[in-house]
């Protein structure tokens, strides 16, 4: 008789995270596919600011010769309250679309750059305008958390 250690035994239906009916079971530690409200923070106490964190955006800078550089922008947005944050979270595809269109065009045309360097102040102003256009006056401030440029 062959004895296997308990940690080497796998169910015959496919693996440790698959149920008998073939569907995938979610393990408690597997939260990578769940996207909840972790992109909203703050507002814990009365008067505290509420922030919405937008995932990093990678934007190519394209000239007549092709792609010159890649610019990565990380933005947080301070909003008026949780209602605005929830609205922004619900409309995140529209938010990212507005930011991509505004920043991509400006970087490509050069209006958001000083030569080859990104102008952070202009990016902040352009992002604020884009977000205010789709979300209204609930936006308090756009906060640039990071910018990285990679020349190609």
Spatial separation of the C-alpha atoms in residues 40 and 54, rounded to whole Å: 9
Spatial separation of the C-alpha atoms in residues 148 and 50, rounded to whole Å: 25
- Answer whether residue 16 is part of any domain: no
- Answer whether residue 2 is part of any domain: no
Spatial separation of the C-alpha atoms in residues 38 and 105, rounded to whole Å: 30
- Answer whether residue 19 is part of any domain: no
Q: What is the DSSP string of 100-144?
A: HHHHHHHHHHTTTEETTEE-HHHHHHHHHHHHHHHHGGGEEEEEE
- Answer whether residue 142 is part of any domain: yes
Q: What is the pLDDT of residue 75?
A: 96
Q: At 123, which CATH number?
A: 3.30.479
Q: What is the pLDDT of residue 40?
A: 86
Spatial separation of the C-alpha atoms in residues 106 and 100, rounded to whole Å: 10
- Answer whether residue 8 is part of any domain: no
- Answer whether residue 50 is part of any domain: yes
- Answer whether residue 66 is part of any domain: yes
Spatial separation of the C-alpha atoms in residues 65 and 143, rounded to whole Å: 32
Query: How many domains, the chain?
Result: 1
Query: What is the span of the domain harbouring residue 77?
Result: 40-151
Q: What is the pLDDT of residue 101?
A: 94
Splitting the chain (152 residues) into consecutive groups of 10 residues, what average pLDDT does each group show?
49 50 51 56 86 96 89 96 93 95 90 92 96 93 96 91
From residue 143, give the alpha-carbon distance in Å to each of 8, 14, 17, 33, 108: 49, 46, 40, 27, 22
């Amino acid at each position: 008789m062959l004895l296997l250690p308990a940690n080497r035994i796998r169910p015959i239906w496919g693996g440790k995270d698959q149920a008998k009916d073939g569907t995938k079971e979610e393990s408690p530690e597997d939260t990578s596919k769940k996207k909840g409200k972790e992109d909203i923070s703050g507002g814990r106490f009365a008067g505290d600011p509420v922030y919405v964190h937008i995932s990093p955006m990678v934007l190519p800078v394209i000239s007549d010769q092709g792609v010159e550089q890649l610019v990565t922008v990380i933005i947080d947005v301070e909003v008026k309250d949780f209602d605005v944050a929830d609205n922004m979270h619900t409309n995140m595809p529209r938010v990212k679309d507005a930011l991509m269109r505004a920043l991509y065009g400006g970087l490509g045309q050069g209006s958001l750059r000083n030569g080859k360097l990104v102008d952070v102040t202009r990016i902040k102003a352009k992002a604020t305008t884009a977000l205010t256009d789709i979300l209204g006056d609930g936006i308090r401030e756009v906060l640039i958390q990071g910018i990285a440029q990679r020349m190609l």
